[in-house]
C-alpha cells in the first residue's frame, strides 16, 4: 500500500511506501493490546463469577482447595434459604422504591440547578456554585449527626422518607450536568428564544434532549449508589419490614450464623438488578463518556 505526502517547500507529492513489516508490527501491537484488555476483563469478572458459583453449590464443596471453578453438583438450597430467612421481596420493593425516588428526584433537581448555573445570569451565581463544589470535599460522615438530628426532629425516623428526602440534592449531579450544558452549543437555544420561548421551554425541549446521555449516566450512577447504600438505611431504619436489601443481608448473616454460601446467594440476588440497569443503559453511559470531551 502506498500513501503520499506533500513537500511543502516544493508542493510536490511524493510516494511513501509502507512496508509489510510495519503493517505486521501494527497488527501485532493491536493483538497484544486486545489480549491485555481481555485478560484484565477476565480478572475483574472472576470475583463475580466466584460469587455465582458459590451461591449454587453445597456448603461442604464451596471452599475446596484448589477451588473448583466448574462444579457439577449445583443446588438451589442457598437461594431458598435466603427467601426463608428474610422477607426478601418486601426488602426488594423497599430498595426499589427508595432507589427510584432518589434517582428521579435527584436527576430532576440536578438538571434544573445545573441549567440555572450554566445558562442563567443572577447575582451570586459563581460564589454559590463554588460553595456547592466545596460540599463535594466534605465526607458524608461529617454530616451524619446534623442529618440525624434533623430527621429525628421532623419525625421521619424508621421511615423511607428519611432515606430519599436528603438524597434529592446531588451536588455531583449538579456539577456533572452543568459541565455538560456548558459544552453544548447555544445556537438552538438562541433561535428558540427569538421565537419567544422561555427558559422552561428551552430547557425541556432543547437542552434536556441534548443532555440525554449525561442524564442517563447520572441516573445509573445514582441508582447504583442508592441501591447499594447500607450506611444510611442502617442508621435510620429499625423495623425489618422497612429494611432495604443491604441491611437485610446483615440480618441474613446473623440468622444463619454467617453461612458463606447463603450470604453469597444473597449478594448475587442484590447485584443482579444493578447489573440489569447497567446493561440497559450501557449505550447511553458510553455516549456520555464519549461526548464529555466535545466542545460546542
What pLDDT, in 10s, does the model give residues 30-55?
888 889 989 998 898 888 888 888 88
153 found inside a domain: yes
Residue 169 near residue 102 (C-beta atoms within 8 A): no
pLDDT of residue 275: 84
Burial class (CB in 10 A: 0-12, 13-18, 19+), 224: middle
Q: Are residues 139 and 26 in the same domain?
A: no
- Helix, strand, or coil (residue 68): coil
What integer pLDDT is reported at residue 1 of this predicted model?
45
Number of other residues whose CB lies within 10 A of the CB of residue 199: 14
Q: CA end-to-end span of the chain, whole Å?
A: 37
Higher pLDDT, 202 or 221: 221
Average pLDDT over residues 10-35: 70
pLDDT category of residue 10 using cuts at 50, 70 and 90? low
Q: Is residue 220 part of a domain?
A: yes
pLDDT at 256 over 60: no
Of 268, 44, 292, nearest to 178 (Cα)? 292
Stretch (H or E) spanning 3? strand 2-7
The verdict on 142 and 284 lying in the same domain is yes
What three-state secondary structure class fits 64? coil
Q: Give the mean model confidence (pLDDT) for residues 52-67.
A: 78
Q: Over 60: is that where the pLDDT of 216 sits?
A: yes
Nearest to 226 by CA among 99, 104, 109: 99
Q: CATH number, domain at 232?
A: 1.10.3720.10
pLDDT-derived band at 257, boundaries 50, 70, 90: low
Alpha-carbon distances of 137 from 27, 83, 132, 219, 226, rounded to whole Å: 45, 40, 10, 22, 20
Considering the domain architecture, whether residues 156 and 238 belong to the same structural domain is answered as: yes
Band (255; pLDDT cuts 50, 70, 90) = low
Residues 259 and 135 in one domain: yes
Q: What percent of the chain has pLDDT over 90?
A: 18
For residues 174 and 217, state if they share a domain. Answer: yes
Query: Residues 150, 269: one domain?
Result: yes
**Under 8 Å between Cβ of 151 and 235:** no
Determine the pLDDT at residue 288.
59
pLDDT in tens, 77-96: 888 888 888 888 999 999 99
Domain assignment of residue 24, given as a range? 2-55
Residues 48 and 91 in one domain: no
Same domain? For 51 and 166 the reply is: no
pLDDT band at 296 (very low <50, low <70, confident <90, very high): very low
pLDDT at 38: 92
Looking at the fold, whether 117 and 210 belong to one and the same domain comes out as yes
Assess whether 166 and 31 both reside in one domain.
Answer: no
Q: Does 106 share its domain with 13?
A: no
Task: Enter the pTM of the model.
Answer: 0.78
Residue 275 lies in a domain: yes
Domain count, the chain: 2
Amino acid at each position: 500500500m502506498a500513501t503520499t505526502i506533500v513537500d511543502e517547500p516544493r508542493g510536490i507529492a511524493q510516494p511513501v511506501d509502507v512496508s509489510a513489516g510495519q503493517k505486521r508490527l501494527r497488527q501485532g501491537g493491536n493483538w497484544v493490546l486486545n489480549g491485555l484488555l481481555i485478560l484484565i476483563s477476565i480478572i475483574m469478572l472472576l470475583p463475580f463469577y466466584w460469587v455465582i458459583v458459590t451461591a449454587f453449590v453445597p456448603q461442604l464443596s464451596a471452599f475446596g482447595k484448589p477451588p473448583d471453578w466448574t462444579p457439577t453438583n449445583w443446588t438451589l438450597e442457598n437461594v431458598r434459604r435466603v427467601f426463608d430467612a428474610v422477607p426478601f421481596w418486601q426488602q426488594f420493593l423497599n430498595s426499589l422504591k427508595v432507589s427510584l425516588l432518589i434517582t428521579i428526584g435527584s436527576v430532576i433537581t440536578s438538571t434544573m440547578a445545573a441549567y440555572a448555573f450554566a445558562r442563567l445570569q443572577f447575582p451570586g451565581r459563581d460564589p454559590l456554585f463554588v460553595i456547592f463544589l466545596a460540599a463535594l470535599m466534605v465526607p458524608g460522615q461529617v454530616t451524619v449527626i446534623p442529618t440525624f438530628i434533623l430527621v429525628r426532629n421532623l419525625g421521619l425516623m424508621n421511615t423511607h422518607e428519611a432515606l430519599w428526602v436528603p438524597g434529592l440534592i446531588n451536588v455531583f449531579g449538579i456539577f456533572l450536568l452543568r459541565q455538560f450544558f456548558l459544552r453544548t452549543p447555544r445556537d438552538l437555544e438562541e433561535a428558540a428564544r427569538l421565537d419567544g420561548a422561555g427558559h422552561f421551554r428551552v430547557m425541556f425541549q432543547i437542552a434536556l434532549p441534548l443532555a440525554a446521555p449525561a442524564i442517563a449516566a447520572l441516573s445509573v450512577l445514582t441508582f447504583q449508589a442508592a441501591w447499594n447504600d447500607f450506611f444510611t438505611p442502617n442508621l435510620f431504619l429499625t423495623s425489618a419490614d422497612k429494611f432495604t436489601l443491604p441491611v437485610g443481608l446483615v440480618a441474613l448473616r446473623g440468622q444463619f450464623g454467617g453461612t458463606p454460601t447463603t450470604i453469597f446467594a444473597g449478594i448475587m440476588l442484590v447485584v443482579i438488578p444493578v447489573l440489569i440497569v447497567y446493561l440497559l443503559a450501557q449505550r447511553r453511559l458510553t455516549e456520555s463518556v464519549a461526548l464529555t470531551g466535545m466542545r460546542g
